[in-house]
Amino acid sequence: MSNPKQSSGIPYIVKFIIGVGLMVLGVWISKNTTELRHSLEEQGIPLDIGITVSVVGVFLILIPVLNTYYFKPLADAINERTEALESTFGEAESLRSEMTKMKSDYEQRLAATEAEARSQIQAQIREAQNLRQTLMTEASAKADEMVKRAQQEIEAEKQKVLGQLRREVVNLTINASERILGENMDSEKNRRLVTEFIDSVEVPR
């Protein structure tokens, strides 16, 4: 156990000696001032000077001891506890600030993500609309091309059929003329004449 620390610049050993001296002096005063004590008591002052001096001596001995082994450790413990609480409060405040910053960052990232998602959705919608328009345009062009091709094929088939009908009519006309006239009418000239006649009386399309 270490010696009590010095207080007010006076070594503890000096205080101890003074304290013991005061205790001894107080006992001596208490034993040799009985008449003075009784006189004070008769005057309503219950004061024993010897005991008072002894108590002062006891305090001189005990106060440094109590200060070193009780009050000082208690004050140190209180200060340490106070520092720990302040550190805890500081950490809690720092954590709260960090949580607030994290929340703000999260909200910003969430807002940015939502904005990016909306932008991507709008871009995909525009792309789908453009694709739809392109497909409709291509489909319309293909349909027009198919209709045009069909009309051309129909017209070609029509001309083919009309040509076949002309030839049949020419053949029938020549055969009929041969039967009526009893002569061979199948010549290039006669065929040309019959064809021109048919073309002249053909109903316009």
Domain coordinates of the chain in residue numbers?
Answer: 12-111, 155-201
CA distance 33 to 53: 13
**52: nearest Cα among 74, 37, 72:** 37
**17: nearest Cα among 57, 69, 51, 66:** 57
- Is residue 1 over pLDDT 50? no
**Predicted pLDDT of residue 30:** 72
pLDDT in tens, 145-201: 888 888 888 988 888 887 787 777 777 777 777 667 666 656 676 667 777 777 666
Beta bridge partner(s), residue 10: 7
State the pTM of this model: 0.35
> Stretch 86-91: mean pLDDT, rounded?
88
Of 176 and 144, which is predicted with more confidence?
144
The DSSP 8-state label assigned to residue 187 in this structure reads: S
Q: Output the 3-class SS for 133-160.
A: HHHHHHHHHHHHHHHHHHHHHHHHHHHH
Of 52 and 86, which is predicted with more confidence?
86
**Predicted pLDDT of residue 191:** 67
pLDDT in tens, 121-138: 999 999 999 998 999 998
What tokens were used for 52?
């008072």
pLDDT in tens, 19-72: 788 878 777 877 777 766 677 666 766 666 777 777 887 877 788 878 878 888
